[in-house]
Structure 1
Amino acid sequence: MHLALEKKYYHTTRALATLDPELIRVRGRGGITPLHWVAGKKGDNKQKIEELLELLAEFLCSCRLSIKDLTSQWETAVHVAVKNHNTEAFKVLFGWLKRTYLTEILDWKDQDGNNILHIAASENQPKIIRMLIGYTNINAKNFQDETALEILQANPYANQNVVKRLRRQRCLARLFTPTVSLSQFLSMELTFFEKHACFFGIQDKSTHKIILLVSTLIATATYQTALSPPGGYWVDSSSSPSLNPTVVTAHSSATANGIPHQAGNMILNGWKLYLFAVLNSTAFFTSIGTIWATGISLMDKPFMVYFSVTILSFAYINSLMVEFPKQNEVAAILLLAFFGCSLISVLLLPWCVHAVHIGILKRVDATRRRGDFLGLQNG
């Protein structure tokens, strides 16, 4: 495949990639793969440029992991494209990284500690810098202890509009300013999130799956129990007690003439009702909290998990309060307060703990070529 690319036999290259996509990852001299070669190559005319860009796109789609391959100088295909001023190839790579949620690769460093933004600044490529703002760590430093902004400011021909945008972005990113090295971070005490993971033994994905499965089963069972409580429901309304009350379940066709009640309320009452509501709700919210806490550790953007468990929790509370007997308003208010506190704790507590953990990780200015060794990303 390397030889076919050098001789510009692109049809042969496509045929080889179709037969075995892993050939795209084969390293040649200097660790160069076919993806690196295409990313750094510029065509002689418009037709050749379009053909190379199409080949680059086909390589990316055929072999997703090829973007993670490094040369002997720790360069990804994105590094190669920027160093060769191949803006069109960078646009293809950048668009693919955003669509596949792999933009963390933009922060990977080469053997000089330069990420993509550092290279774009040193090569004075304002178009690429504009695209990278918001997708890379503006405060990252290379091995010369320079940020991209400092590199750009040292260049007398730098675009001043881009310099101003980088300054604004740096002000916004000061919250996550790298303040510790990797060795300093590993010397620190475990974060609460890490202690939680160690205590429950959820370091690997198989354990995550078991916990999610069990928690989902518990949430399903407790939610169904709230919809079908022990004893069933009253099928009619009654405002006055009779001398001979009749207990009616949801499956009974008899007429209820017992204690005051409303149709659709639970027949269960007294301390048994409160005990059932508290125990069932505790199990439900605990399982919801476990699903949420496990979900945010598996995904970078767990919004849908958060949205789903929130809606489910509100549906549970609403259904239970509708079915709850209305004659004891004080108990209903206390239970509603209990539900509210439980909901806030299971939704906000994991979020806050995880946010603090990620905030600490983002303060680490790693000198390695990759940025996912701390567990920030999966896969």
Structure 2
Amino acid sequence: MSDEQKIEEINAYAKTGDTKSLYLIIKQDPYILQKIVEIPFVHTPLHEAAGQGQTSFAIEIMSLLPSLGKKLDPDGFSPLHIALKERKKETVLALVKFDKSLVRVKGFEGFTPLHYAAKYYPDLDILSCFLLDCQESIADLNNRFQSTVHLVMESRDDEAIDLVLKWLVRTARETVLGWKDDNLNTALHVAARYGCLQAMKIMVKTAKLNKRNSDNHTPLDIAKLYKNDQVTRILIKAHAKTSQQLSPKETAVDYLRSETNILEKAVRGYCFIFKDLTVGVVLVVAVLITTATYQAVLQPPGGIFPADTNSCNTTANATSVLVTAAAAPAPSQGKMVMGEADYNKFMPANTAAFTLSIMIIIFVLHGRPYNVILHACLIFLAYSYLVALESISQTGNVSQIMFILSWNLLSVALFLKMMYYVGRALFEDVWWLRSGGVTWHNMSYLVERPVLRKVMSFARQLRKQSKLIRRLK
């Protein structure tokens, strides 16, 4: 019996789910399944079992040779694609349970099983299974650069659309809504075209409203073009604009040919420094410097004058009155023993090292909400240092100058880092302020004053500079 005949025979067993007969063929030729794998494109027994809904047989084949699960047939479909195409729900769920990576296998036109399910078989159980078990699959695009969100909009299934969009919100992946296909259409453009009202109600709060496609059309233009009146009203209520109401779009060529300004150079320098920075090592060194310099204030060289108290001795006479009186504090009580000349050399240098190390820690800490608490702790630590410094100083002028300079420097450093957090949230839509960037983008188109428009344009230019540097390896 030839290999082709053996494969046909196994395919016949796959139709009926005859597992015992499968092993009879394997006994005759132990390499038969491996021979199937070596064929570039072939309709395997797993394809046949998946299409017929023979779940047990399909899982048996997967157990014997898992690589068959990613094999494409001559039509460009994997076994999971076939199971979806034939609407064999039980088999689909079983295959994904066995191997979650099957959800990301690309087939005909670059469609993954998730893409196929979103567009052609938007079953809620299957979609939720794919999205929960293989969350990374949302990042896959087909050959037209369409995401799962684009395709589920084309299905026009309100429940499936609602499920996918709310999954994006729950997993803080709203940036997917801004991804563009080969015609630069976002999910909002597709929803406007197909009149997806439920999608529109969600996306006007979570997506950028005025993105333009390759035809220079915004979602509002698309809604008007396809005469979707309800969608048009929703977009207008959300203050969306038509392309005619927007200023000309700056192209990549325009940006690259434009002159760089001082702030762009500062952003570029910060990004380069941060890319080359070994954060862990810098933090350890900065913390050691902070600890050493703080200890120098608590225990300065030479020590601190102790407090003096005088009391009258008690006489043996029972009729005598016990008198205890504290002496007035001496001028040097609780002050540093170190002379003024040495103090003026040592303490400014120590304070400068302390202040700069605190500033480095502030700048190096990652931009996360819980780190705001750490920043507050650093400021309180610095304040206690400066108060202690004033308390033990013999002369007030030098300590007051150090207090003012250090406190102002730390305040500026903290302010800049807080602005960095806000800017990062606006530009990158980080999870803890994920709607900030979308809100900022949409509100920027409502600004009418030329000065504010220039500020918005300048901010976008800084964002482009930051993104450009971050892409460098």
Runs of 4+ aligned residues of structure 1 deviating over 4 Å after TM superposition are: 232-236, 265-269, 350-354, 356-366, 372-377
Corresponding residue number in structure 2 for 1:73: 144
Corresponding residue number in structure 1 for 2:88: 9
Corresponding residue number in structure 2 for 1:281: 354
Paired residue type of 1:224:
T
Q: Distance in 1 between matches of 2:197 and 2:126?
A: 26
Q: Does 1:157 align with 2:229?
A: yes
Q: Distance in 1 between matches of 2:309 and 2:345?
A: 22
Q: Does 1:186 align with 2:265?
A: no
Task: List alignment gaps of at least 5 residues for structure 1.
Answer: 44-51, 241-256, 297-301, 367-371
| Residues 117 and 132, structure 1, Cα contact 8 Å, conserved in 2 | yes
Q: Distance in 2 between matches of 1:235 and 1:19?
A: 75
Q: Does 1:18 align with 2:90?
A: no
1:293-308 mapped onto 2 (5 Å cutoff): 295-296=366-367, 302-308=368-374
Tell me the number of residue pairs that the alignment of Structure 1 and Structure 2 aligns: 330
Q: 2:186 aligns with which of 115, 118, 124?
A: 115
Q: Distance in 2 between matches of 1:129 and 1:148?
A: 10
Closer, same or farther: CA 160–284 of 1 in aligned 2, 3 Å: same
Q: Distance in 2 between matches of 1:376 and 1:107?
A: 19
1:50-94 superposed Cα distances (whole Å, 9 cap, x missing partner): xx3232222122222211111122111111111211222222222
SS of residue paired to 2:230: coil
User: Counting helix residues as a fraction of each chain, which structure ranks higher?
Assistant: 2
Larger Rg: 2
Corresponding residue number in structure 2 for 1:46: none
Q: Distance in 2 between matches of 1:289 and 1:12?
A: 54
| Residues 179 and 364, structure 1, Cα contact 8 Å, conserved in 2 | no
Q: Distance in 1 between matches of 2:270 and 2:248?
A: 24
Closer, same or farther: CA 225–258 of 1 in aligned 2, 3 Å: farther
1:188-227 mapped onto 2 (5 Å cutoff): 188-189=258-259, 191-197=264-270, 200=273, 202-203=274-275, 207-208=276-277, 210=278, 212-227=279-294
| Residues 53 and 89, structure 1, Cα contact 8 Å, conserved in 2 | yes
1:225-271 superposed Cα distances (whole Å, 9 cap, x missing partner): 2442164564853599xxxxxxxxxxxxxxxx986233xx7666621
Closer, same or farther: CA 138–38 of 1 in aligned 2, 3 Å: same
| Residues 321 and 332, structure 1, Cα contact 8 Å, conserved in 2 | no
Corresponding residue number in structure 2 for 1:346: 413
Q: Distance in 2 between matches of 1:42 and 1:17?
A: 16
Corresponding residue number in structure 1 for 2:403: 336
Paired residue type of 2:93:
R
CA-CA distance at 1:281 after TM superposition? 2.3
RMSD in angstroms over aligned alpha carbons? 3.9
Q: Distance in 1 between matches of 2:360 and 2:351?
A: 14
Q: Distance in 2 between matches of 1:361 and 1:23?
A: 42
CA-CA distance at 1:305 after TM superposition? 3.1
CA-CA distance at 1:142 after TM superposition? 0.7
SS of residue paired to 2:84: helix
Paired residue type of 1:75:
Q
Q: Does 1:136 align with 2:207?
A: yes
Q: Distance in 2 between matches of 1:267 and 1:133?
A: 68
Q: Distance in 2 between matches of 1:135 and 1:41?
A: 26
Corresponding residue number in structure 1 for 2:195: 124
Q: 1:101 aligns with which of 166, 172, 179?
A: 172
CA-CA distance at 1:309 after TM superposition? 2.2
Closer, same or farther: CA 267–83 of 1 in aligned 2, 3 Å: farther
Tell me the TM-score normalized by structure 2.
Answer: 0.59
Q: Distance in 2 between matches of 1:18 and 1:221?
A: 50
| Residues 348 and 402, structure 2, Cα contact 8 Å, conserved in 1 | no
Paired residue type of 1:288:
I
Corresponding residue number in structure 2 for 1:48: none
| Residues 266 and 324, structure 1, Cα contact 8 Å, conserved in 2 | no
Corresponding residue number in structure 2 for 1:312: 378
| Residues 192 and 220, structure 2, Cα contact 8 Å, conserved in 1 | yes
Closer, same or farther: CA 22–235 of 1 in aligned 2, 3 Å: farther
Q: 1:91 aligns with which of 145, 148, 162?
A: 162
Q: Distance in 1 between matches of 2:141 and 2:97?
A: 22
CA-CA distance at 1:324 after TM superposition? 3.7
Paired residue type of 2:401:
L
Paired residue type of 1:120:
A
Paired residue type of 2:403:
L
Paired residue type of 1:346:
A
Q: Distance in 2 between matches of 1:376 and 1:105?
A: 19
| Residues 220 and 232, structure 2, Cα contact 8 Å, conserved in 1 | no
1:319-359 superposed Cα distances (whole Å, 9 cap, x missing partner): 44235425544333322221222113323335657849947
Closer, same or farther: CA 376–6 of 1 in aligned 2, 3 Å: farther
Corresponding residue number in structure 1 for 2:363: 290
Corresponding residue number in structure 2 for 1:166: 238
Q: Distance in 2 between matches of 1:162 and 1:268?
A: 74
Closer, same or farther: CA 280–88 of 1 in aligned 2, 3 Å: same
Q: Distance in 1 between matches of 2:470 and 2:133?
A: 25
Q: Distance in 2 between matches of 1:267 and 1:165?
A: 72
Paired residue type of 2:410:
L
| Residues 105 and 113, structure 2, Cα contact 8 Å, conserved in 1 | yes
Q: Distance in 2 between matches of 1:217 and 1:288?
A: 9
| Residues 140 and 147, structure 1, Cα contact 8 Å, conserved in 2 | yes
Corresponding residue number in structure 2 for 1:243: none
Task: List alignment gaps of at least 5 residues for structure 2.
Answer: 1-79, 311-328, 428-455
Q: Distance in 2 between matches of 1:149 and 1:31?
A: 29
Q: Distance in 2 between matches of 1:364 and 1:276?
A: 36
